[in-house]
Amino acid sequence: MHPTPAPYRFHAFEVSYFSAKVRPALRYKQLWFEELRADVREVERLTGLGFIPILVTPEGESWQDSSEILDRLEARHPAPPLLPRTPLQHIASLLVELYADEFGVAPAMHWRWGQPEREASSRARFAAMTGSEELGRRFADAMVRRRDGVGATPAAAPALEAHTHELLAALSAHFSAHAYLLGARMSLADCALMGLAHGHLFTDLHTRQLLLETAVPVVGWIERCNVPCADRQGDWLADDALAPGLARVLGVMGRDAAPVLLASVARFEAWADANGKPGEEPPRTVGWLDTRLRDGAFRWSVRSYTPWMLQRVLDVWRTLGAADRERVRGALAGTGWEAVLDTTPRHRVAKRGFRLALEPL
């Protein structure tokens, strides 16, 4: 265990999508931490925002935003490593994170809130989790209102379910051959995907049954991520390789998610052209995108956070030399993610404290 003067304090919920992303990293890094059932008023006092999880350092500094939390943990505690530095595995990890953080919430919210019996089960869980029927109802009502904004509408239900089944099949095939996404060691990619896989699908009654009946290798991976035993793990695949099974997983993700994310970023760019001012915080959402997902209508709230997540990929991509770019592009051919690498945003979204801000390129 890494010695620290006091424990990290992790404000989270078991059913929280982004709590499930951070929790395995804390265990994998073998950090001394105390998990606290989140109190939204305390979270707002510490960050000015009502979003979880947050991580309070032993020195009393509050970190909010799962991606920044993992970045800072990696910088402070680089061993064992979470983020590969070789070009292909680094980019692949960030693409999984982009998918999970920005698109994966759509199937997650559909499976939790998209049918009356699943909503009833989730409401009961929220009441038990908070210890208050009234508070649980308020949290559940907020999630139901958010459901349509992330694309989990009734019209999109068939496409989201087809996407989920295809993704679980691809993951099951991969985890039948490899312990983790990049080989025999956990990575950022595994943590990112745990939000969908564990935070929602495995903690909810109906979808846990789905996993146990159709995707047992995925359940095994979830168990390994939650109890990572880092000193017993192996290595990422040698020579910066991606397993064929992971290429299939990336294809399921990219072919459905990449067009939606790129269209959303384009809509944000148009908003910023007309309304954005450098240094100012953009609204969290800037309108709606009406597009298609597989054979169905897909309506998506355009979020200002999506360009920031896309930049995490592009910032690394732009540091690569020509030979590395060619190899990465070849490995991702046919996955749908190539168009993301070709994107050149006209606006940059920065982080200032806990908030976003536009800044000139």
Residue 216 lies in a domain: yes
pLDDT band, residue 69 (cuts 50/70/90): very high
Q: What is the pLDDT of residue 1?
A: 65
Q: How far apart are the first and last CA of the chain?
A: 41
Report the predicted TM-score, pTM, of the whole model to 2 decimal places: 0.97
Q: 91 and 70 in one domain?
A: no
Residue 81 lies in a domain: no
Domain containing residue 52: 8-76
Tell whether the torsion through CA atoms of 111, 115, 118 and 120 is positive or negative. Answer: positive
Q: Into how many domains does the chain fold?
A: 2
Alpha carbons within 13 angstroms on the beta-carbon side of residue 290 total: 1
Contacts of 158 (CB under 8 A, 6+ apart): 294, 295, 296
Mean pLDDT of the chain: 95
Q: 136 and 70 in one domain?
A: no
**What distance in Å separates the CA atoms of residue 357 and residue 355, rounded to the nearest whole number?**
7
Q: 282 and 160 in one domain?
A: yes
Q: 94 and 51 in one domain?
A: no
Dihedral of the alpha carbons of 91, 95, 97, 101, in degrees to the nearest 10: 150
- Contact of 15 with 199, CB cutoff 8 Å: yes
Residue 295 lies in a domain: yes
For 128-163, what is each residue's pLDDT tens digit? 888 888 888 888 888 888 899 999 999 999 999 999
**What distance in Å separates the CA atoms of residue 217 and residue 252, rounded to the nearest whole number?**
17
Percent of the chain's residues with pLDDT above 90: 86
**What distance in Å separates the CA atoms of residue 232 and residue 216, rounded to the nearest whole number?**
22
Average pLDDT over residues 201-215: 96
Residue 67 lies in a domain: yes
For 270-279, what is each residue's pLDDT tens digit? 999 999 999 9
Tokens standing for residue 328 = 């990465």
Q: 164 and 54 in one domain?
A: no
pLDDT surpassing 70 at residue 195: yes
Tokens standing for residue 143 = 């999630």
